[in-house]
Amino acid sequence: MEIELDFEKRYRLVREIIETVVLTVLMFLVIRLAVQNFNIDGHSMEPGLHNTELILVDKWSYLFRSPTRGDIVVFVAPPNPSQDYIKRVIGLPGDIVTIKGNAVYVNGVLLNEPYVDPHNQGNPYPSFSNRLVPPNTYLVLGDNRNGSSDSRDWGCVPRENIVGRAALVYWPLGQDNNGLLPGVSSVFANVPAPTGKVGSVCQVINARPATLGPATPHPASPNNGVDMNMLFAVLMPGVFVGVRRRRK
C-alpha cells in the first residue's frame, strides 16, 4: 500500500512539473508575441520620454488595427536598418502634411501639440508644403522637434518597419512619466479627410519587416542585462507550483 501511495505522489509531482513547463513555454511565447521591452537611447522624444528609460512595446494591437495619429511607435529606422527608432505618428497613408518652421498642418489643419515643449521647438530641416504620405507608410516626428531625426529628414516609415506601439514606461521608478503613456487623440480630432493639391510625395527608403533585434539592448534595469520576459518565464514555474500546492 505504501509503495502504491509513494508511486502516486511521484506521478503527481512529475505531472505537475510537466504541466508547469508546458504552461510556462506557452505563456512565454504569447508574451513575446504580444509585448517586448525597449531601451530609449537619446532625447528625441523629450519631454514625454527620457534617455535610458525602459518601456514596454505593444506588438499585439497592430495585428488587428493600423497605427493612428498620435501613437508613439517603435520601428526599424529607414536611414539605419540596424537600429530601432521611436517617434510619434503624425500623418497616415493618404494624408497631406505641411511643415513650415514650427507649424505642422495635417490635411490643412494646424496642430496644437501639447506634448511638444516650447523650449524644444525648432526645425533644423527644410520646410515643405502639401507632402503626400504614400500608401502603407506613416509620417513620424519626434516630440523634441529641434533634436530629432525623423520624417522631415529621411521620409516616411513603411508599415512593415513598425514593431509596435509604445505603451508603458516601467523603469526607472520615480520619474515624472511612470506608467501608461497618455492618449493624445484630441489633438487630431478635427483633422478632416485629405483633400487639396499635392506638392510632393514623401520619400520611402529601406522598407523591411520589423523585428526588435539585437541592435538595441533591452535590459530589465540599468544594473543588469536580464530580459523582462525571460525573467518572467523563469519565475513562473515556481509561482505556478506554489499556487497549486497552496490550493491543495
Half-sphere exposure (CA, 13 Å, Cβ side) for 103?
A: 9
Q: What is the pTM of this model?
A: 0.76
Task: Report the pLDDT value the prediction gives residue 62, as an integer from 0 to 100.
Answer: 94
**In this structure, are residues 77 and 84 in contact, taking their beta carbons and an 8 Å threshold?**
yes
Residue 242 has pLDDT above 70, yes or no: no
Average pLDDT score over residue span 153-172 = 95
Residue 230 has pLDDT above 50, yes or no: no
Query: Mean pLDDT over all residues of the chain?
Result: 82
Beta-carbon contacts of residue 92 (< 8 Å; ≥ 6 apart):
66, 67, 68, 69, 133, 138
234: part of which helix (H) or strand (E)?
A: helix 228-247
* Confidence at 1, pLDDT banded by 50, 70, 90: low
Task: Report the pLDDT value the prediction gives residue 42, as an integer from 0 to 100.
Answer: 94
Beta-carbon contacts of residue 233 (< 8 Å; ≥ 6 apart):
24, 25, 27, 28, 31
**Cell numbers placing 1:** 500500500
Catalytic residue among 44, 59, 148, 151: 44
Q: CA–CA separation, 233 vs 237, rounded Å?
A: 7
**Cell numbers placing 141:** 516626428
**Cell numbers placing 14:** 512529475
In the chain, what is the straight-line distance between the N-terminal and C-terminal CA atoms, in Å? 22
Q: Identify the CA nearest to 113 among candidates 20, 171, 182.
A: 182
- Active-site residue flag, 87: yes
Residue 118 has pLDDT above 90, yes or no: yes
DSSP code at position 170: E
User: What percentage of residues in the chain have a pLDDT greater than 70?
Assistant: 75
Task: Report the pLDDT value the prediction gives residue 68, as an integer from 0 to 100.
Answer: 97
DSSP code at position 70: T
Catalytic residue among 9, 61, 87, 248: 87
* Confidence at 232, pLDDT banded by 50, 70, 90: very low
Pick the more confident residue, 92 or 241.
92
